[in-house]
Amino acid sequence: MMLINGHPHDSVSALDRGLSYGDGLFETVRFVADKAPLWARHMQRMLAGCERLRIPAPDPRQLWQEALQVSGDFEQSVVRITLTRGVGERGYAPPAMARTTRIVAAFAMPAISSALYSDGIRMHRCQTMLADQPLLAGIKHLNRLEQVLARAEWSDSSIGEGMVCDQHGNAICATAANLFAVIDGVPVTPAVDRCGVAGVARAAVLEALGDCRVRDLPLCDCLRASELFLSSSIRGILPVQAVGDTVYAPGPVTRAMQQRWRNLGFPTEQA
Amino acid sequence: MMLINGHPHDSVSALDRGLSYGDGLFETVRFVADKAPLWARHMQRMLAGCERLRIPAPDPRQLWQEALQVSGDFEQSVVRITLTRGVGERGYAPPAMARTTRIVAAFAMPAISSALYSDGIRMHRCQTMLADQPLLAGIKHLNRLEQVLARAEWSDSSIGEGMVCDQHGNAICATAANLFAVIDGVPVTPAVDRCGVAGVARAAVLEALGDCRVRDLPLCDCLRASELFLSSSIRGILPVQAVGDTVYAPGPVTRAMQQRWRNLGFPTEQA
């Protein structure tokens, strides 16, 4: 089910700036029945994105009601919230008074093999490198061609994600998840102030870890990590089993974060 | 008037990847009655974009028929052609068999003051810098937040464009036009292989000039140019009168290109 500006509908104007220029933001929120444990973090990021792009902020209570309404048919669901700057004249100039378009759509939670949680996920090393753009880094905007290109690099279904670097050789993220490494006993996650997305699951892990370093993470450091795991608001905590030919085993930090994830109220991650 | 996949319609699925990820391309084509002098160049760029993004290529003859159909009500028009990877499952992975969405829409040609052609356009110096992304440079894709941010930097209606640089201090383009300078008697235009769009009007000017250098153009070089002008498939050849506080006068190369533009069949550029 889908609501557009609060009304059941499944299409948007072909002149919407979200389509014309990717001028908008989105969130994908995991619901377990009528609970969304990371909701507050999703709203925080969306509002930060609105401020950055100067898009009028939505009312989080209204979004919550709409998300509940669309997800009601599912036991577990993914709710995608898309907010665009709305219909505009032709041309890049944002309208002085934008009337945003709000799309709230629910999808069945995808089935994820429990082996991915116990044994880990295999990653492709992506050739696609993320550009440095501090103006857009961190927020979850609609300009996602880099992720599309990175994800298009493999079709082998035994590979679950891709390791994406910036143009300086730093590991940044997976195509649709954030990255954590344990190096010399210390947890590390890449900074996302020049590229990448500041994931809401990443924020939850950072809070849980307490002592995690947020810094540039050269891929070579990553490849000698004792543990590597991914965080995703939809898929949770995924141990990394391999990046290309480099092999890892799930370790204690990864297992602790999986436990923490279950404690948040996400049921399926049976590591 | 607007056609979507050949049918009169004005909306697209809210699950279109053009909206979800900016996963597509566009062209804005100027029509003078039923002629579009730069049509072949627009098609060449769109097909190059399809190849780069691995989006199934459209049939240019079909696009031509649709463009004629929508522009028929106007004496002069701008036809925007948008091609997306179509409706997709949630997630970045491109569908194995994409069914593209094709939007062909006509707009009245905007009125442009003849003073802009005789005296030139004033430009703002944008703070927004373009990121280096060779995978996306040159093609006219739908990820245009950088242009939206750059264009949002000014609202003074006496300023017609913004000078946009890359992160190394090179002038690249205006927010919606390409840039030419005459420096020490030699015409120069910025390379667009790391960022920027390879404009179709730029291609026409390059062909007309014959001896234009395509290279990195540091903004400081640009500011000591004897002539500066913009090229746009919609607005044609616009002399630059000022970039911030730096003033220019339209010179002989600019005037020759304006004459060339009229010879292509564009009537309004009365310099």
ipTM associated with this complex: 0.96
- Residues B251-260: what's their mean pLDDT? 97
Q: Classify B225 in phi/psi space as left (phi over 0), alpha (psi -120 to 50) or beta.
A: beta
Q: Give the list of residues 6+ apart from residue B271 with CB closer than 8 angstroms, or none.
A: B117, B118, B239, B250, B255, B258, B259
Is the minimum CB–CB distance between B136 and chain A shorter than 8 Å? yes
Kindly determine whether residue B136 and residue A151, on different chains, have CB atoms separated by under 8 Å: no
Tens digits of residue pLDDT in B29-72? 999 999 999 999 999 999 999 999 999 999 999 999 999 999 99
- At residue B140, the 3 state secondary structure works out as coil
Give the pLDDT confidence score for residue A175 in this predicted structure: 98
Q: Mutate which of B142, B156, B166, B235 to test chain A, going by most A C-beta atoms within 10 A?
A: B142
Kindly determine whether residue B131 and residue A128, on different chains, have CB atoms separated by under 8 Å: no
Is the minimum CB–CB distance between A90 and chain B shorter than 8 Å? yes
Tens digits of residue pLDDT in B215-230? 999 999 998 999 999 9
Of chain A residues 185-244, which have a CB less than 8 A from chain B? none
Domain end: B108, B141, B156, which one?
B108
Whether residue A214 is predicted with pLDDT greater than 80 in this model: the reply is yes
Burial of A172 (0-12, 13-18, 19+ CB in 10 A): buried
Q: Mutate which of A17, A20, A112 to test chain B, going by most B C-beta atoms within 10 A?
A: A20
A240 and A198 within one domain: yes
Q: What contacts 24+ positions apart, CB below 8 Å, involve A43-50? A: A45/A139, A45/A140, A45/A198, A45/A200, A46/A81, A46/A83, A46/A140, A48/A138, A48/A139, A49/A25, A49/A139, A49/A140, A49/A141, A50/A25, A50/A83
Domain end: B79, B108, B137, which one?
B108
Is the minimum CB–CB distance between B259 and chain A shorter than 8 Å? no
The verdict on residue B86 lying in a domain is yes
Kindly determine whether residue B93 and residue A151, on different chains, have CB atoms separated by under 8 Å: yes
Kindly determine whether residue B149 and residue A53, on different chains, have CB atoms separated by under 8 Å: yes
| Domain total in chain A | 2
Whether residue B240 is predicted with pLDDT greater than 50 in this model: the reply is yes
B129 and B98 within one domain: no
Set of chain A residues whose Cβ sits within 8 Å of the Cβ of B18:
19
B147 and B71 within one domain: no
Give the pLDDT confidence score for residue A234 in this predicted structure: 96
Kindly determine whether residue B94 and residue A152, on different chains, have CB atoms separated by under 8 Å: yes
The verdict on residue A24 lying in a domain is yes
Is the minimum CB–CB distance between B175 and chain A shorter than 8 Å? yes
Whether residue B135 is predicted with pLDDT greater than 90 in this model: the reply is yes
Is the minimum CB–CB distance between B170 and chain A shorter than 8 Å? no
CATH number assigned to the domain comprising residue B149: 3.20.10.10
A128 and A21 within one domain: no
Give the pLDDT confidence score for residue A268 in this predicted structure: 63
Domain limits for position B47: 2-108
A129 and A80 within one domain: no
A143 and A94 within one domain: no
**In contact, A214 and A186? CB cutoff 8 Å:** no
The verdict on residue A269 lying in a domain is no
Give the pLDDT confidence score for residue A269 in this predicted structure: 54
Give residue A270's pLDDT band: very low, low, confident or very high (50, 70, 90).
very low
Rounded to whole angstroms, the Cα distance separating B97 from B94 reads: 8
Kindly determine whether residue B146 and residue A128, on different chains, have CB atoms separated by under 8 Å: no
